[in-house]
Every structure is written in C-alpha cells, then in structure tokens.
Amino acid sequence: MIARHRGDTRIHSRWRPTASPTAEQVAAHERNQPELADESRVGPWRAVVGVVAVVVIAVAVVVGEQGAGRANGGSLPATPQRWVERWTAASLDNPSRVCEQLFTPALAVAFRADTGRSCLAYYSDVTSRSFRIRHVLQDGPTAAVEAQQVGEGRKWGYFTMVLSHVHGGWQAVDIVPGGSVRPR
C-alpha cells in the first residue's frame, strides 16, 4: 500500500525502471558519497550504549564484591561444629558478624518479619549464652543445629538452625522453631 496525501490520485509515479549500473558506475558513485557514519545520528546512540555497558559492568562488580565480602569476610566456618563455635561467640561479642557472615543475606532480612526487629538489633540485645546446643546433624551439604533456650522448661524453647555449605564454608539459611528434629 502506498501512502497518499488527500487529493493525490495520480496512478503513476515518476519512477521508471532503469538498467543495472555497471561496476565502474558503482565505484564512481561510492567515491563521491560522504562517509555514512554521520556523528549527529550515530554518536548519541553509541554514547548511550557505552554508558549502559559501563553501568552494567559497574553494578556487576559491586554485586560480586558484596557477595565475596559476605562469603569471605573472615572466611566461613569449615564445619558445622566450627559454625556453632563462631555463632555462640559472635552472638555476644560481634552481632554484625552473625548477621553479615554466619547468616545468609536472605535469613538476615527475614529476621524483621519474624521478630519485629532487624537481625543486628536482635543480636545486639543478647546478653548471655541463654541456649544449649543439643545436636549437630549433617547430611552432605546440609546440617541442622538443634538448640534449646535455657530456662524454658524441658519441652519448650527448642529451635533448629538449618545450615548450608556455600562458598567453601557453612552459613545458616533458616531458623525453625519447635521440637527436636530426631525423636528421643
């Protein structure tokens, strides 16, 4: 379909088929043409693509460094038992280590929904080792640390920390309230 203006009813246009140009005519025509890379049309797009590429690379580097910083900030514990030792020590002395290194970022963020406070605020209020480690169970790249809050009675106060082997070490991925995982 040809776009026509109002009142334009001409059936024939001025275009007429012509013979194919010879190689000499094509070469002469190309010598007389200016460069096709018109900076006014191509330049802004190249600049936009360049800026977008730089931003994407910068974001990737920052995200990679943050992930490496969380995973390698003092290196992760090599065994679930070492994780328990670091967790019990850091719960009192270094709450930021618990929230930024021993817990995965998703678990640290989930603290607010479960406790009403951030992970850092929760662990900043810990004043004593008010829990007892009952069992440390490991199955491949997953481990469960069963603990009980002291003073809650014999059948109350149990919780289980679920650990996962990531980045060459162990991090907590979930906290499950309730009784022991294995029957007694």
- Give the right CATH number for 80-177 from 3.10.450.50, 3.40.640.10, 3.40.50.300, 2.40.10.10: 3.10.450.50
> Residue 184: which residues within 8 A CB-CB, separation 6 or more?
none
Domain positions in the chain are 44-73, 80-177
Q: Which two tokens stand for residue 124?
A: 């900043």
3-class DSSP state of 166:
strand
pLDDT digits (tens, 9 = 90+) for 33-69: 665 555 555 556 666 666 666 666 766 666 665 555 4
pLDDT digits (tens, 9 = 90+) for 169-179: 999 998 888 76
Q: pTM for this structure?
A: 0.55
Total Cβ atoms within 10 A of residue 146: 19
Higher pLDDT, 78 or 5: 78
Q: Partners of 137 in the beta sheet?
A: 144
